[in-house]
Structure 1
Amino acid sequence: MFLSLREEAERAVADGLSALGLPTDDLGIEKPPEDVDAVLASSVAFRLASEVGRAPGEIAVDVAEAIDPGEYEYVERVEPQGPYVNVLASEAYYADTLDAARDEAYGHLESTGERVVVEHTSANPTGPVHVGRARNPIIGDAIARLLEFAGHDVETHYYVNDAGRQMAVFAWAYETFDEADLPDPEREKRDYELVRYYRKGNAFLEEASEGEVEAAEAEIASIMQGLENGDEEAYERVERVVDAVLAGMRESLSRLPAEFDEFVKETRFIRDGSTDELVERLKALDEAVYEEDAWQLDLSEHGIEKNLVFLRSDGTSLYPTRDLAHHEWKLESFDQAVTVLGEDHNLQAQQVRTTLELLGHDADPLDQVLYSYVNLPEGKMSTRAGTGVDLDDLLDEAVTRAREEVESRLDTRIRNDQLDEADVERIARQVGIGAVRYDIVSKQPSKAITFEWDRALDFEAQSAPYVQYVHARTCGILAEADLEPDDVDPAVLETVEERDLLEVIARFPAVIEEAAEDRQPHQVATYTREFAETFNTFYRECQVLSEDRDLSEARLALVAASRHTVANALSVLGVEAPDSM
């Protein structure tokens, strides 16, 4: 309803300006300041003051008087308040909001018909997912969910590096060393088991004798050359370790959860000839140079100082070459392509976009979301064998800490057998992993963050448990009432707290629309905090069940609308909405 009201407000203010012979190019329709009593307000009078030589307050009065509210469904009246032109909503606005939000699908926008691919995570399959990179799958999964809510047909992809030197080293090491030469794995999981070979191989290349290293490097080079030449045996050797490690990584990522529609391998673009064909077109560009035994693109005239190396002297391609072929495929296959990248890939993102434009592509459908990495406070989590903190460590710790918090809060209910072990475990998982996701996704991606347990698991502050508890509370109210209100009278919802809650509910689809356009899921997290505060105020001030049946049914309908709104908002963020806490 908010989207419709905003459209009507824009038309109304434009009509008023036109009637006064004033320009309508910038209407300034926005959510008003807290001290302005309206659903929407126009600040157009500020802009026009210097143009017409009059005070903003005088202009606001004239614009408001020139508008006929009777021409609009959701505009009750238009009033000047200082320099603002306030738009107050009609009873139909509140009634239709209540009706729309009682649908479990509330917040989903109409289909756009656009196919969008979201590529995220894409960590090299050399070992377990590290916590520093955890922001990528969390942001990427939330963006995919957000775009789907906004009506796009979304696919999520993981781009697998299975053709570079790292993977050749991995395949060689796996075939060279025995299990007996390796330390015990940190977990009984395939990525943890195989990463030992990769670490052993790299240590060997650093410490072995010159002759041993030369022999190893020759074997590694033969694997890389075999991949470039389409040698099936080379593919199988690399695929053996890649697929095993990916299976373990996928298991960890599914705990977030972060699922993928397709794992797109680099070797796909070697095997189908795309990379070779692309290399010939790159060589033909004016920017192509052969320097330091490699083909490169000199992009300095395009504001990029570092050359893009795309072919080695031995004829083997590099990651950027294959990634360019990958991006050409995405541009051909999808209407929009979103890639989530760490901030250290900023140069790569610029090189890819510029090169695609030089090749004649329209790069506008490409959208690269850059993020800063996640840090943990020193000493807050242990590291094993000097390898850092893995995502599995973080999630295990989250569930453990959440369980302790849940048990302390639910002690009486546990003792009275109202909750069994499965209930406690479920809530601990929902709260713990929800706290990790929410704390990370609620920050603007470009800002560096340090994950703090006390903040993330604070039931009283702006955290996932704080918002999740609102959903659990709505479920509890509706279960206790044991009443499904059908034909309710929304006009009885007339207190400030009830109207404020309806107004926040009404804004949810607009939040989805704006956040999707900006590729910024943290805007949804900000909304959930505002929603939770508004609902809690309503709950504190308005008794839901009373002897007044009409009022009780209307308030129950408002609670049901709240449940759908907060559940769907949390769903966009990838955070579970517990029925009880």
Structure 2
Amino acid sequence: MFRQFRAAVADALGEACAAAGYPTDDLGIEEPPDDVDATLASSVAFRLAAEAGAPPPAVAAEIAAEFDGDTVTHLDRVETRGPYVNFHTDESYYADTVAAVDDDWGRLPDRDESVVVEHTSANPTGPVHVGRARNPIVGDAVANALSYAGYDVERHYYVNDAGRQVAVFTWAYERFDESELPEPERPKSDYEMVRYYRAGNAFLDPDDESWPSTEAERETAEAEIESIMRGLEGHPEGDSDAYDRVREVVDEVLSGMQESLERLSVAFDEFVEETRFIRDGSVDETAERLRDLPQAVYEEDAWQLDLSEFDIDKQFVFLRANGTSLYTTRDVAHHEWKFDNFDRAVTVIGEDHKLTFEQLDATLELLGNDTDRLDQLFYSWVNLAGGDGMSTREGTGVDVDELLDEAVDRAREEVERRLDDRSRDDDLTEADVDRIARQVGVGAVRFDVVAKQPSKAITFDWDRALDFEAQSAPYVQYVHARCCGIEAEAADAGVEPAATVDPGLLSAPEETALAAEIARLPAVIEEAAADLEPHRLASYVRRLAERFNAFYRECPVLSAEPERAAARLALVAAARHTVANALDVLGVSAPESM
């Protein structure tokens, strides 16, 4: 509803500007100032004032006089206030919005455009840790927003199974006996396997006294590790069984990592192996094309690209002297594969990889690719209060599993406390409390992380994330549960929501404010998808929750006269659908009871 109204206003405003003799680009259509009770506003008069040689309020009045409101459905009136042209909707706008809401509210028509979203892609060397938790949370929300916005989305995890890290891991897994290792931190495959990785790195470090080793032992180990790496590249001097050996280790670690990601409600359509592009010849073909570029130079025992024409000082190394490729080379082949199979590619990646992706973009462009089809969303790390370390190699830091355990435990304590404080019997079973604790705890983590702009660092705070009274996930989830409760009570009382709503029955300020907010969901999703900014949905649904709570306080549903009760019940149902779908984009559950 809001999207259609905005589009109609834009068309009519452009015609009004043209009629007044002004250009029709950049119409400045936006939300009105906080003190203006309108659905839309235009600040175009600011831009046109210099050209008109008149103050912005006079230009706004001139444009408003040319505006043809008959072409805009649901327009009540056009008014100016200072430099703004403000557009007010009529009563039928709110009633028609409520009538339009269903299970698919917020989903836009199919765009017939495919998008691959690559996210997480943590090295398969151990459990997912908190510092990188933003990647799956933001990445999944981006993919959800794009899917809701009408794109055909695939979610990919790029498995780094060809580098030195996995070669060290594989060697260590075969070198050490489990009896030599400490007990795993939890009975889960990634925790069991990471012990070998840590032991291998300690063994190879001459300064690490936890695993003493001689120089000769380290040289032997390095030769075996080099053989695995060469074998993965198909080099005749490498181990011909390297792929199968590495696969066994990687699969074990990934299975444990997937369990953790599933706890976050994060799933993938495909796990794309780095070695895939070695084995199918893509990497060799890519390296050959790179060497043929005029920017290619052989320096410091490696083939590199001089990217100074892109204002990138650091050269892009793509081939070692021994003919083996690097991660960078394989990533070029990977992205060209994306271009061959998808209309658009999005990568969610840590801000510490910005230079790498600048080099990748430049290299892809030199190879003749349309890099406008590639977007990167960079994020800052998540920190915990107290500044915990985050190194998997050293075995320090906090893992996502620990964070989620703590979140669920704290949510359970809060749910049980609130149940104890109530005088009525909620009929909640122990299974219900478990479900609610999981939904609230995991939801609190996801919502708190995704609610911030990705470029800004986060210090995760328990009190903020689990505050039922503040603008947190529990605060919003409770609105959904309250809607479900009202609908259940209505069903018991034999009250049904109105199929069509008389506009005059939803005229209270709290009713129209809630309906107006509900109308905006499709537009918010469209904008969040276009700009890869899922945090907009978090801001939106918090405001929606505020609007609902104001409505709940001021507009009783079941005690109203029958027709008004039915209209308000329809508004409650519309709010429930809207909250549920907005939370769904964010990957947060919408509990039916709390």
The TM-score, its normalising length taken from structure 1, stands at 0.97
Q: Is the 8 A contact 1:98 1:490 kept in 2?
A: no
Q: Name the CA distance, whole Å, in 1 between partners of 2:72 and 2:424.
A: 58
Match of 1:532 among 522, 534, 545: 545
Q: Name the CA distance, whole Å, in 2 between partners of 1:363 and 1:522.
A: 25
List aligned pairs for 1:134-533, cutoff 5 A: 134-207=133-206, 208-229=213-234, 233-378=241-386, 387-411=396-420, 416=425, 418-482=427-491, 483-485=495-497, 486-533=499-546
Equivalent residue of 1:410, what SS? helix
Q: Is the 8 A contact 1:56 1:83 kept in 2?
A: yes
Q: Name the CA distance, whole Å, in 1 between partners of 2:98 and 2:363.
A: 50
What residue is the counterpart of 1:548 in the other structure?
561
Letter in 2 for 1:225: R
Equivalent residue of 1:364, what SS? helix
What residue is the counterpart of 2:210 in the other structure?
none
Alpha-carbon shift at residue 55 of structure 1 (Å): 2.6
**1:470-491 Cα distance to aligned partner (Å, 9 max, x none):** 1111111111111332343233
Q: Is the 8 A contact 1:12 1:67 kept in 2?
A: yes
Q: Name the CA distance, whole Å, in 2 between partners of 1:377 and 1:383.
A: 17
What residue is the counterpart of 2:17 in the other structure?
17
Alpha-carbon shift at residue 232 of structure 1 (Å): 5.0
**1:255-300 Cα distance to aligned partner (Å, 9 max, x none):** 0011000000011000000000111001111111111111111212
Letter in 1 for 2:459: T
Q: Name the CA distance, whole Å, in 2 between partners of 1:88 and 1:413.
A: 43
Q: Is the 8 A contact 1:108 1:149 kept in 2?
A: yes
Alpha-carbon shift at residue 380 of structure 1 (Å): 8.5
Q: Is the 8 A contact 2:2 2:523 kept in 1?
A: yes
Q: Is the 8 A contact 1:471 1:579 kept in 2?
A: yes
Q: 1:374 to 1:531 in 2, by over 3 A?
A: same
Q: Is the 8 A contact 2:228 2:242 kept in 1?
A: yes
Match of 2:586 among 570, 573, 581: 573
Q: 1:470 to 1:416 in 2, by over 3 A?
A: closer
**1:365-423 Cα distance to aligned partner (Å, 9 max, x none):** 10010000000011799999952111100000100111111110112569947111111
Structure 2: any 5+ residue segments left out of the alignment? 207-212
Identify the range of structure 1 (542-551 vs 341-350) with the bigger mean alpha-carbon deviation: 542-551
Are 1:37 and 2:46 an aligned pair?
A: no
Letter in 2 for 1:540: R
Letter in 2 for 1:339: T
Alpha-carbon shift at residue 11 of structure 1 (Å): 1.9
Q: Name the CA distance, whole Å, in 2 between partners of 1:247 and 1:438.
A: 25
Equivalent residue of 2:263, what SS? coil
Letter in 1 for 2:25: D
Q: Is the 8 A contact 2:137 2:450 kept in 1?
A: yes
Q: Is the 8 A contact 1:497 1:541 kept in 2?
A: yes
Q: Name the CA distance, whole Å, in 2 between partners of 1:502 and 1:21.
A: 37
**1:22-47 Cα distance to aligned partner (Å, 9 max, x none):** 32223221110011121111122222
Letter in 2 for 1:518: D
Alpha-carbon shift at residue 547 of structure 1 (Å): 4.4
The TM-score, its normalising length taken from structure 2, stands at 0.95
Instruction: Give the root-mean-square deviation of aligned CA atoms.
Output: 1.8
Identify the range of structure 1 (558-567 vs 223-232) with the bigger mean alpha-carbon deviation: 223-232
Q: Name the CA distance, whole Å, in 1 between partners of 2:422 and 2:337.
A: 56
What residue is the counterpart of 1:85 in the other structure?
85
Alpha-carbon shift at residue 91 of structure 1 (Å): 3.1
Equivalent residue of 1:360, what SS? coil
**1:44-97 Cα distance to aligned partner (Å, 9 max, x none):** 222222222223222222322222322322222212222221111133322221
Alpha-carbon shift at residue 15 of structure 1 (Å): 2.4
Q: 1:415 to 1:170 in 2, by over 3 A?
A: farther
**1:524-561 Cα distance to aligned partner (Å, 9 max, x none):** 10101111111111111111123411111000000000
Q: Name the CA distance, whole Å, in 2 between partners of 1:199 and 1:185.
A: 12
What residue is the counterpart of 2:209 in the other structure?
none
Structure 1: any 5+ residue segments left out of the alignment? none
Q: 1:75 to 1:382 in 2, by over 3 A?
A: closer
Alpha-carbon shift at residue 16 of structure 1 (Å): 2.1
Are 1:67 and 2:80 an aligned pair?
A: no
**1:464-514 Cα distance to aligned partner (Å, 9 max, x none):** 011111111111111111133234323310111111111111111110011
Q: Is the 8 A contact 2:388 2:397 kept in 1?
A: no
Letter in 1 for 2:35: D
Q: Name the CA distance, whole Å, in 2 between partners of 1:556 and 1:10.
A: 33
Letter in 1 for 2:2: F
**1:121-162 Cα distance to aligned partner (Å, 9 max, x none):** 000001111110000000000000010000000000000011
Q: Name the CA distance, whole Å, in 2 between partners of 1:398 and 1:260.
A: 24
Q: Is the 8 A contact 2:129 2:390 kept in 1?
A: no
- Identity across matched positions, percent: 66
Equivalent residue of 1:162, what SS? coil
Q: Name the CA distance, whole Å, in 1 between partners of 2:312 and 2:63.
A: 50
